[in-house]
Amino acid sequence: MSPLRREDVAHVAKLARLSLSESELDLFTEQLSQVLEHASDMASLDLEGVVPVAHPFGLINVVREDEVRPCLDRDEVLAMAPDARDGRFAVPRIMGEAP
Amino acid sequence: MKSAAQIAGEVNSGATSAVAELTRSLEAVRARNDELHVFLFVDEEGALAAARRVDDVVARGGSAGPLAGVPIAIKDNMCQRGVPTTCASKILQGWRPPYSATVVEKLLAAGAVPVGKTNLDEFAMGSSTENSAFGPTRNPLDTSRVPGGSSGGSAAAVAADMTPIAIGSDTGGSIRQPAALCGVIGVKPTYGLVSRYGLVAFASSLDQIGPFAKTVTDAATLLEVLAGHDPLDSTSLPEPSPSLVAHVGDGVAGQRVGVVRELIEGADEEVLEAVARAREALEKAGATTVELSIPELRLGLSAYYLIAPAEASSNLARYDGVRYGLRVDGDDVAAMNEATRTAGFGAEVKRRIMLGTYALSAGYYDAYYGQALKVRTQMIGAFARAYREVDLLLGATTPTVAFAFGAKTANPLSMYLSDVFTIPTNLAGEAAISVPFGTGEGGLPVGVQLLGPGRSEARLFAAARVLEIADGRP
């Protein structure tokens, strides 16, 4: 496993939509490296052929009838949103100005 | 302080009223909440309405349920309609959920009276409540020390006799560890036994809601109320709530108990002594004990600190300033998302999101996340082999008694290590209970941990009851 570099941390922050200060970048690089180093005890294991687990009891494909049921009240939900207009969530512009 | 069983009995018989019991609880909260910072929100009005409804049912000659009039504290990562739910994060400050968690509905139906929402590490990420955006909770038994976490507020509410019972959530030890540090009982039920609908998601394949209580009977009563299939949670087990209270007195005669080396190694001397005394108590009650080694458990911490952050990075992507909670303006939607998340999340949450994003990112997925999921498979197999030899496992809950504020905040890895004995149960999806068993340094409580396979809660409560009696709480 490769050691974590400062530019990796900066890249991951961007992916996670977080902006970090220079000092936070330094601190997180050091702290996250420690955790990954601790995890290196797994790297040496030969787990070829072991099936990765996602659910402890292998519960899969839980389905229900596709029927109309009561759901949350729209106005009540929108009342909790930072910004709402015309029965919808409102956000700042997503695309740039038309050329 | 009366037990929950006592209160429910007296309320149902008319010997006391739910309103009177609530008043007593609110007085205890008022007396110490400023000092201990247990509750982030006290819902006096809602609680009074719930208590009056219980008293009305009893006045009309009915039974108000197994938790009639019992004040209860709810960890603030579970939704209660109209009541602020913050996850101790600035990103959800001011949010009032438009629906209630299934567990909240079940508690109300059983006659319980939710008093308020308790403090936690932000989004349940931490082991001391020091990561709460609204300030830490203090351990009621020694206010210079942490109560543990992440469900530190719920553990402290019970330890401080504010409420006889509380609920928390346990992803890697977040019920059992604070229970041990505060000297109360804490249960991590089998994955899927309790519905997670309305529990704010941290790591969905590990999260499980469970009880805090001062007596084994109260913990069993509460879990019986909480458990059972819920069509609103696709990971909930298909069967109805098991019978637990009826088995509390079953004892351990004939049971085989394995004392697990990996669940005690590195623990302080006083913790080791408590485990040894617990072993003796179980033997005296008719169990046979054997020492076991399950080497796979040593990998638990590493696997957990990749799997849980990976799931968290995905779950917490929803906090984007669009639908609820905080929004910090930006020129476009991406800038708004980033400004919101940067201002709204605390350092530990950011660390885990980053760790998870990294573990899931191209080029590292197989080496980190993929490998961790295979280790998880190994761990499930290792527990299963152990349970072919024994019925229950015994170990420590935490390596030390409650630690001082600031002792572990500078080094996240040292904080993570305080969950080293509790994490394997979550990875395996199994059940475990922490029982207070004697005291250590400065009279602080020590917890011992009983572990069992999935759906073994009745057996665990029976063994816990044996320890409770041996510890002088008949």
Residue B324 clears pLDDT 90, i.e. is over it:
yes
d(CA B373, CA B355): 16
User: Which of A28, A77, A83 has its CB closest to that of B327?
Assistant: A83
Instruction: Rounding to the nearest 10 degrees, give the CA dihedral for residues B334, B337, B343, B346.
Output: -120
Q: What's the gap in Å between the CA of A99 and the closest CA on chain B?
A: 17
- Predicted TM-score of the model (pTM): 0.97
Residues in chain B: 474
Q: Is A3 exposed, middle or buried (0-12, 13-18, 19+ CB in 10 A)?
A: exposed
Instruction: Provide the angle, in degrees to the nearest 10, between the axes of the packed helices B300-315 and A22-38.
Output: 140
DSSP letter assigned to residue B432: E
CATH number (domain holding residue B146): 3.90.1300.10
d(CA B141, CA B176): 17
d(CA B468, CA B437): 8
DSSP letter assigned to residue B227: B
Q: Can you read off the two tokens belonging to residue B263?
A: 């669940």
pLDDT category, A57, cuts 50, 70, 90? confident
Q: For residues B309 and B356, is the Cβ–Cβ distance under 8 A?
A: yes
Asked if residue B434 belongs to a domain, the reply is: no
d(CA B33, CA B195): 30
**How big is the CA angle at B252 (ends B194 and B193), to the nearest 5 degrees?**
5
Q: Which residues contact B429 (CB under 8 A, 6 or more apart)?
A: A55, A56, A57, B190, B191, B192, B380, B454
Report CB contact under 8 Å: B321, A82: yes
Q: Can you read off the two tokens belonging to residue B473?
A: 């709480």
Q: Can you read off the two tokens belonging to residue B430?
A: 């199994």
Q: What's the gap in Å between the CA of B87 and the closest CA on chain A?
A: 16
Give the catalytic positions of B in this structure.
75, 150, 174
Q: Can you read off the two tokens belonging to residue B139?
A: 């351990």
Report CB contact under 8 Å: A38, B302: yes
pLDDT category, B323, cuts 50, 70, 90? very high
Q: What percent of chain B clears pLDDT 90, i.e. is strictly above it?
A: 96
d(CA B378, CA A51): 9
Helix (H) or strand (E) holding B179: helix B176-182
How far, in Å, are B209, B219, B244 from residue B230 at the CA level? 13, 21, 19
Q: For residues B197 and B101, is the Cβ–Cβ distance under 8 A?
A: yes
Which tens digit of pLDDT belongs to each residue from B240-284?
A: 999 999 999 999 999 999 999 999 999 999 999 999 999 999 999
Backbone conformation region of residue A87, classed left if phi is above 0, alpha if psi is from -120 to 50, else beta:
left
Q: What's the gap in Å between the CA of B207 and the closest CA on chain A?
A: 12
Report CB contact under 8 Å: A56, B375: no
Residue B136's CB is within 10 A of a number of other CB atoms, namely 24
Residue B165 clears pLDDT 70, i.e. is over it:
yes
Average pLDDT over residues B409-419: 91
Q: What's the gap in Å between the CA of B455 and the closest CA on chain A?
A: 11
Residue B82's CB is within 10 A of a number of other CB atoms, namely 14
Q: What is the pLDDT of residue A95?
A: 80
Residue A98 clears pLDDT 80, i.e. is over it:
no
Note if the bond before B13 is cis, omega within 30 degrees.
no
Report CB contact under 8 Å: B322, A93: no
Asked if residue B269 belongs to a domain, the reply is: no
Size of interface A-B (CB pairs under 8 A): 164
Closest chain A residue by Cα to residue B234: A62
Give chain A positions within 8 Å (CB) of B413: 31, 34-35, 38
Give chain A positions within 8 Å (CB) of B336: 91-92
Secondary structure of B280-330 in the HEC alphabet?
HHHHHCCCEEEEECCHHHHHHHHHHHHHHHHHHHHHHHHCCCCCCCCCCCC
Q: Can you read off the two tokens belonging to residue A4?
A: 């974590």
**How big is the CA angle at B392 (ends B389 and B395), to the nearest 5 degrees?**
110
Q: First-to-last CA distance in chain A? A: 46
Q: For residues B155 and B179, is the Cβ–Cβ distance under 8 A?
A: yes
pLDDT category, A40, cuts 50, 70, 90? confident
Report CB contact under 8 Å: A80, B96: yes
Residue A55 clears pLDDT 80, i.e. is over it:
no
Average pLDDT over residues B46-75: 97
Furthest-apart CA pair in chain A: how many Å? 57
Average pLDDT over residues B446-468: 98
- Give the DSSP per-residue string, B31-51: HHHHHH--EEEE-HHHHHHHH
Report CB contact under 8 Å: A57, B191: yes
Closest chain B residue by Cα to residue A3: B364
Q: What is the CATH code of the structural domain delimited by A6-43?
A: 1.10.20
Which tens digit of pLDDT belongs to each residue from B302-318?
A: 999 999 999 999 999 99
Report CB contact under 8 Å: B323, A81: yes
Asked if residue B458 belongs to a domain, the reply is: no
CA A44 to chain centre: 27
pLDDT category, A54, cuts 50, 70, 90? confident
Mutate one of A91, A93, A95, A97 to test the B interface: name it (highest B CB count within 10 A): A91
Q: Tokens 């623990």 map to which residue?
A: B267
Asked if A71 has any chain B CB less than 8 Å from its own CB, the reply is no
- Give the DSSP per-residue string, B99-141: S--HHHHHHHHTT-EEEEEE--SGGG--SSSTT-TT-PPPBTT
Q: For residues B224 and B243, is the Cβ–Cβ distance under 8 A?
A: yes
Give chain A positions within 8 Å (CB) of B95: 80
Q: Taking the CA atoms of B417, B422, B424 and B426 in sequence, report the sign of the dihedral they define.
A: negative
Which tens digit of pLDDT belongs to each residue from B92-148?
A: 988 999 999 999 999 999 999 999 999 999 999 999 999 999 999 999 999 999 999
Q: What is the pLDDT of residue A1?
A: 46
Residue B384's CB is within 10 A of a number of other CB atoms, namely 13
Q: For residues B29 and B115, is the Cβ–Cβ distance under 8 A?
A: yes
Q: What percent of chain B clears pLDDT 70, i.e. is strictly above it?
A: 100
Closest chain B residue by Cα to residue A88: B323
How much is the mean pLDDT over chain B? 97
Comparing C-alpha atoms, which of B88, B79, B74, B83 is closest to residue B125? B88
Asked if A94 has any chain B CB less than 8 Å from its own CB, the reply is yes
Comparing C-alpha atoms, which of B168, B166, B129 is closest to residue B37? B129
Q: How many domains does chain B have?
A: 1
Report CB contact under 8 Å: A57, B332: no
List A88's β-bridge partners, or say none.
A85
Q: Which domain holds residue B177?
A: 4-246
- Does the interface predicted TM-score (ipTM) exceed 0.85? yes
Q: Tokens 């209970």 map to which residue?
A: B433
Asked if residue B54 belongs to a domain, the reply is: yes
Q: What is the pLDDT of residue A64?
A: 84
Average pLDDT over residues B212-224: 98
